[in-house]
């Protein structure tokens, strides 16, 4: 089954609002002829509104990098799903390994965010992936199973149509080390198998699983040529219009 490739840029804590506009302008002119790849950019919260405005006349869609699970209240420093929707977001990244590593997020808190995002009409990109230690201890499959099961607990088969998964081995994020296409495909096939077990073959064959971890113009085509790799979540290389578009073109 042909799944529409989705390439998302996770800008992390980079780019001021003015820099965001400059990068978006660079992306927009280069993306005009691209129609068969879904393109997503995820700037910081303070740039979302101006990014939404700037992207109105383009095929690039907007995502956020995180959100809290309550809709409003006394939660200083947090941002809610309705706020992201109102700001123009279609997607939201949830459970990124940096959130898990530095901000104490767990499968349980990721799951609460997943429920809220879907209830409010946001499409979550749920990140999972093992650390180097876990891979070396042969615990990769166990960790992926725990993250998939925990993060998706209580999510229905119908809701899965709006879910994107991102397999991001922690040892490959921002390190310049990329999983080989075979390593990535093996993990993706395993994740798809977990989805099949939980939701059946139709949901499993439709769900898009992105690879993330030092994706660059030079390795994107080979990774994306694998059967189970349906896109990429790109950090560093998404901060430059030329290299992000080169990755998107590799996906075409
Ligand atoms: C990421 O942060 O999701 C990521 C994959 O980063 P990088 O591409 O820089 O490794």
CA 62–ligand 1 middle distance (angstroms): 17
Catalytic residues: 96, 168
Ligand 1 is surrounded, with C-beta below 6 A, by 10, 168, 173-174, 212-215, 233-237
**Confidence grade of residue 1 (pLDDT, cut at 50, 70, 90):** low
Number of domains in the chain: 1
Read off the pLDDT of residues 30-79 as tens digits, 9 standing for 90 and up.
999 999 999 999 999 999 999 999 999 999 999 999 999 999 999 999 99
Residue 3 CB neighbour total at 10 angstroms: 14
- Judge whether 131 and 157 are in contact, CB under 8 Å: no
Exposed/middle/buried for residue 95 (C-beta within 10 Å: 0-12, 13-18, 19+): buried
From the CA atom positions of the chain, what is the Rg in Å? 17
Strand partners, 167: 128, 211
pTM above 0.85, yes or no: yes
Domain hosting 130: range is: 5-251
User: CA 39, CA 187: separation in Å to the nearest integer?
Assistant: 23
CA 235–ligand 1 middle distance (angstroms): 3
pLDDT at 234: 98
User: CA 200, CA 139: separation in Å to the nearest integer?
Assistant: 25
Which domain CATH number covers 76?
3.20.20.70
Read off the pLDDT of residues 85-128 as tens digits, 9 standing for 90 and up.
999 999 999 999 999 999 999 999 999 999 999 999 999 999 99
Task: Show Cβ contacts of residue 241 under 8 Å, excluding neighbours closer than 6 positions.
Answer: 23, 26, 27, 30
Residue ID of nearest Cα to ligand 1 atom 3: 235
């Amino acid at each position: 089954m042909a799944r529409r490739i989705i390439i998302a840029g996770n800008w992390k804590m980079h780019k001021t609002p003015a820099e965001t506009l400059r990068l978006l302008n660079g992306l927009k002119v280069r993306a005009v002829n691209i129609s068969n790849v879904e393109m997503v950019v995820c700037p910081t919260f303070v740039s979302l509104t101006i990014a939404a405005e700037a992207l109105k006349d383009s095929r690039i869609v907007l995502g956020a990098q995180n959100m809290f699970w309550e809709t409003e209240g006394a939660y200083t420093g947090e941002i809610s799903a309705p706020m992201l929707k109102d700001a123009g977001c279609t997607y939201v990244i949830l459970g990124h390994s940096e959130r898990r590593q530095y901000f104490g997020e767990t499968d349980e808190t990721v799951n609460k965010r997943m429920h809220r995002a879907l209830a409010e009409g946001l499409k979550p990109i749920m990140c999972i992936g093992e650390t180097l230690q876990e891979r070396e201890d042969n615990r990769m499959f166990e960790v992926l199973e725990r993250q998939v099961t925990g993060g998706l607990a209580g999510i229905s088969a119908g809701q899965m149509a709006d879910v994107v998964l991102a397999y991001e081995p922690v040892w490959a994020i921002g390190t310049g080390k990329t999983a080989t296409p075979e390593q990535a495909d093996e993990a993706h096939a395993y994740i798809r198998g977990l989805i099949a077990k939980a939701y059946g073959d139709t949901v499993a064959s439709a769900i898009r699983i992105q690879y993330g971890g030092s994706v660059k113009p030079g390795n994107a085509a080979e990774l994306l040529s694998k059967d189970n790799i349906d896109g990429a979540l790109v950090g560093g290389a998404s901060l430059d219009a030329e290299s992000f578009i080169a990755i998107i073109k590799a996906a075409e």
